Structures are given as C-alpha cells and as structure tokens.
Amino acid sequence: MNTQTVGRIDVLLGASWGDEGKGKYTDLLAEYYDVIARFQGGPNAGHTIYFTMPDGTVVKVTLHQASSGILAGKLSVSGDGMVLDMVKFREEVNYIMGYRPDACNFIKIARDAGIILPIHILLDIVSEVSSGSKSIGSTKCGIGPAYEDQTGRRGPKFHQLLQPDAREKFSKLQQRYVYIVQEAIDCCQDPKVRKEWETKLGELDADLEQCLDSARQLAAMVEMVDCGSYIRSLLDNGSRVLAEGAQGMLLDRVYGKSRYVTSSITSPPGVPLGLGVSFRELREVSGVFKAYCTRVGNGPFPTEFHRDLELNGFYKKVEHPIAHLIQLVGREFGSTTGRPRRCGWLDLPLLKEMAYLGGFTRLLMTMIDVFNGFDEIEVCVGYEEMAPDIFGRLGEAKPIFQKIPWGCHVTPDMKTWTDLPKQVQNYINMIEEYVGVPIEMVSTGPERDQVAITRSRTAKALASGSNGSLAGAHEVPGDGSLLGLAASETPLPRVS
Ligand code: IMP
C-alpha cells in the first residue's frame, strides 16, 4: 500500500443547500473517472440525470443511493459514511437495470455503510410532525435517527444485516425507541395520524424482515466491499476516483451550525471519513452552484424572494411572483419529496464562504438558462452589518442586492466562452472576482451535453498572467481529467 501519495481523489459537491445539479455534472465528468463514490447521505439525495438511451431517446433518471456515474458504466461505490435504506436500494438497482441491464457489475456497497431501519423512518416522521412549526423539513427518510445510532455505536452496518442474529439484534434496537413513538401517539390530536403511526408501530417487525430480505438480495446481486481498502487498491492500480457529494455544503451537520441541516458531513472533510482514506488523498474540489439559490425544507435563507406587504400598519412577508416563475421554468420541485423548492437570488457572501470552507478549486454553474426572458436579475453582494460568523447568524442577515440588466438568452448550442452573451460573461466575471475561484463550466440546459466550457478562458487568463478577475484561482494539474484537458474550446464528448 502506498502511504506517501498525495491527492488522487477529486471531489464534486453542492455549494449551497443541495439540488444544484450535481447529478448532471457527475454524469458528464464520469467519462474522465473510473470510479464514482458516494461518501455521505442516503436516500434523502435525488440526483437527476437526463440519459440518452441506445435508440437516441432522452429519459429523466433520478438516483438516490447509487452514484451518478452508474449509467455511464462507472464503478459506483456507496461508502462507509452513508446510511442506506435497503428496501429502496433494492428497488433502485432494479430501476437502474431498466436502463443499464449490467448495472449490478458496477455497484459496490461498503460492508460498513450505515443502515436505516424501519424505526428510524418512523422516528423521523413522528419527530417532524410533532415539532409542528419548529420542524426542520426533513425528507422523512430516517436519515437523522439512523446517523444517531451510528454515532451511538449501535450500528447497524450493512454486513451486520447478513448475520444470523440480525433479526433478534435489530428488533431489540427498534424496541429501544418504541416508547418515543408511543408518547408521540398519546400526544397527537389528529386521530387519522394517530392511527397511521399505530399501524406503522405494529408493522415494525414485518418491515424489519423486509429490510433484512432486501439486504440479502442486494448482497447476492452486487459486491459488498471493504470500502477503504477497496478504494485504496483502485487508486494504487491507477483508477481515477471522483467523490460525489449529496445535499450541499450549507446543509453540513457541523459547518451548518444550526438544526436546519442534514445529519452528515456534506463538505470535503466528509470524503476521507466516508470512504476510509486519508484526507491527503483529496485533490480538486468542484463546487456546483445555481445561477440563483434554492432551498427545500426549513431554515434561514437570506436572499429568498419575498416582499413586505403592509396591511393596516403591519408588515407581512409575502412570496414574490418571481419565485413561482423560477419554480416553473427551473422545475424546482424536490426530486425525492416533490416539494416546491424555495427560491432566491444568488448569495455571493455565502458562496465565497463555502468556497473557502470547501477548498473549492473550481466552480461549475447550472440553470443560467432559467433567466431567459428576464429583463433584470439581482445578486446579493453583502449583508447589512455583516456578521463575522455568517453561518451562525444566517437568520439575522439582511442582504444587499445589486441589480444586473439581463435581456439575453442562453441556448444549448452555446459551447464556449465566446458563444455566451455579454451579460452572462459579465455575471461570470463578477462571481469569479467576488469568490476568487474560476467558473469552468456553465450548464445551458438539462441534458448531458448542454454545457459551455469556460475553463479555456480561465486557462488562457492564467497562462497570460492576466488573472485580475480570478484572484485565488488554482492552476489545474494536467492529469488527463476533463478540466486538465480543457485548454481547447472543444465541447464535451458524449459518453454514450
Ligand atoms: P434530512 O437529510 O432528510 O434529515 O433533512 C434535513 C434537511 O436537509 C431538510 O431541510 C431537507 O430538506 C434537506 N435535504 C436533505 N436532502 C436534501 C437534498 O438532497 N437536497 C436538498 N435538501 C436536502
């Protein structure tokens, strides 16, 4: 084993509250990697990919627990740091096989990946519903309670579900929490909800049986791997590994500093922990962000569209009509829950903070085409009385907006920097200047090859030393990966 090597794993993750379009970029970049590994989260993620079938038809595919490289036939590792729902994963494998019949050859599940038990899902539901207006808006997939059991060293891990004592052991673990659900049932005012929870409580053992069955089926269909040593052996054999984030940096359990986050480490420090490798293995970090911001679930969102409506001297926050337009044009509905996403303008102070905390070496933009038809857009360039600890005080932040004249159209045939309208170029320059990280690709539509590569301009600017607007930009090593190669203005080759 090579203990000296530094920096062999690239990372791609969301720079804000998730749903930035990571799935598309992972799928696109999969061509330049052999392995795409998930290191955190679970079925709460929903990565949407527009996949071209062999007959040329384009279909929308949403992945939750397998990595987004699977359709391109890349090894998909679901790592140690994830919490997996066995029943849903078993269904997902079947679903993927509908598009790629040989998918099982490529899917690897860490033997030490955490598991979501039926009681975890019930606890998540009960906790959300009982919290009323204080709920965090979780996906109700059981993520938080499952991670609590991992932190509490109670398991379960994937391989433990395959042991002969699994039913007895995890039935006992489920029983440990029954009183919490019972208490919630006793306090619940809604007879319909009470009945629902009672039924679910009564089905816990049967649901556990289904979970164990699915685990056995999965273990028979796909390979169970010792994640750390597996990834390391792949790296030592020259395989190129991309770590794919789920959710986004602002939902990181630790950096997020509030209860309105997910329960995993969504930022780059989660990669070595979730894949069982050294932190020194991290190399390039790509932060994916939208031309605007969205958030599902509850919690502070400084640039969210709303306006103050005065009514007899009282002010009420009312959602802005632009939110509905963006929801509609940008298809801003959660891929896991179907909930409409909250929308707002791009928040540059937050993006800059994420770029620092995440060590971003490049930015990848999405959804710029959603502004087609807008006369003007806005962007947050600071906060009034900017708090030194942005994260800790997001709820108090009062954004300062700058208006930007727009009136241009972005179309999928735009493939290079020079193809992009002047207004878009100015917007990109402004973001880069503020954040200090180069924007290397701009997605111009939902499909895989609808992307403009702006990296070449960055490379040229850096080469000529005229990187005034790219302060802090890093040169990318010429490692043969897409972004190392992209000094030319060539559009991306198609994988399929
Ligand atoms: P949980 O991860 O289901 O526990 O939910 C915690 C918070 O993270 C909630 O606000 C969710 O809406 C949010 N969240 C979880 N997964 C995603 C995702 O994939 N995209 C965006 N938000 C997410």
What digits encode the pLDDT tens for the residues 97-125?
A: 999 999 999 999 999 999 999 999 999 99
Which residue carries 């190399």 as its tokens?
Answer: 283
pLDDT at 389: 75
pLDDT digits (tens, 9 = 90+) for 230-267: 999 999 999 999 999 999 999 999 999 889 999 999 99
Probe residue for ligand 1, chosen from 126, 262, 293 as the CB with the greatest number of ligand atoms within 8 Å? 262
Among candidate residues 129, 48, 139, 49, the one with its CA nearest the CA of residue 85 = 139
Helices (H), 11-64: 22-29
β-strands 107-110, 241-244 pairing? unpaired
pLDDT reported for residue 447: 86
Is the distance from the beta carbon of residue 270 to the nearest atom of ligand 1 less than 6 Å? no
* CB of 137 closer than 6 angstroms to any ligand 1 atom: yes
- What is the pLDDT confidence band of residue 387, given thresholds at 50, 70 and 90? low
- Give the pLDDT band of residue 467 (cuts 50, 70, 90): very low
Predicted structure pTM score: 0.90
Is there an atom of ligand 1 within 6 Å of 142 CB?
Answer: no
d(CA 231, CA 112): 14
Question: 97: helix, coil or strand?
Answer: helix
How far apart CA 250 and CA 258 sit, in angstroms, is 10
Supply the DSSP symbol for 431.
H
Residue 398 pairs with which residues in a beta bridge? Answer: 384
Cα of 169 from ligand 1 centre, angstroms: 29
**pLDDT, greater one: 479 or 407:** 407
Q: In this predicted structure, what is the pLDDT of residue 495?
A: 28
236 counts as catalytic: no
Mean pLDDT, range 75-95, rounded to an integer: 98
Other beta carbons less than 10 A from residue 401's beta carbon: 15
Question: Quick one: pLDDT at residue 386?
Answer: 66
Mean per-residue pLDDT, 72-82: 96
Torsion of CA 240, 286, 278, 73, to 10 degrees: -30
Catalytic residue, chosen from 10, 47, 112, 124, is 47
Which residue of the set 10, 19, 252, 369 is catalytic?
19
Residue 152 has pLDDT above 80, yes or no: yes
CA 82 to ligand 1 center in whole angstroms? 14
Q: How far is CA 182 from CA 50, 140, 176, in A?
A: 44, 18, 12
Provide the 3-class DSSP secondary structure of residue 380: strand
Using the structure block, give the residue that is written with the tokens 């599902």: 296
The predicted pLDDT at position 475 comes to 36
Q: Residues of the chain with pLDDT > 70: what percent?
A: 88
Q: Average pLDDT of the chain?
A: 89
Using a 6 Å cutoff on CB, does residue 412 contact ligand 1? no
Q: Measuring CA to CA, which residue among 102, 324, 310 is closest to residue 221?
A: 102
Per-residue pLDDT band at 481 (split at 50, 70, 90): very low
- Beta-carbon count within 10 A of 413 CB: 11
Ligand 1 test: best mutation among 83, 138, 143, most atoms within 8 Å of CB? Answer: 138
Ligand 1 center to residue 475 CA distance, Å? 33
Q: Is 205 a catalytic residue?
A: no
CA 246 to ligand 1: nearest atom = 19
Give yes or no for residue 214 CB within 6 A of ligand 1: no
Which tops the pLDDT comparison, 186 or 471?
186
Of 11, 49, 25, 15, give the one whose Cα is nearest residue 335: 49
Residue 207 token pair: 């649901």
Q: What is the pLDDT of residue 462?
A: 45
CA pair distance 178, 199, nearest whole angstrom: 13
> Which of 212-221, 324-333, 348-357, 361-370 has the least mean pLDDT?
324-333
231-234 long-range contacts, CB within 8 A, separation 24+: 231/9, 231/35, 231/37, 231/77, 231/79, 231/275, 231/276, 231/277, 232/1, 232/276, 232/277, 234/34, 234/35, 234/75
The answer to whether the CB of 296 is under 6 A from ligand 1 is yes
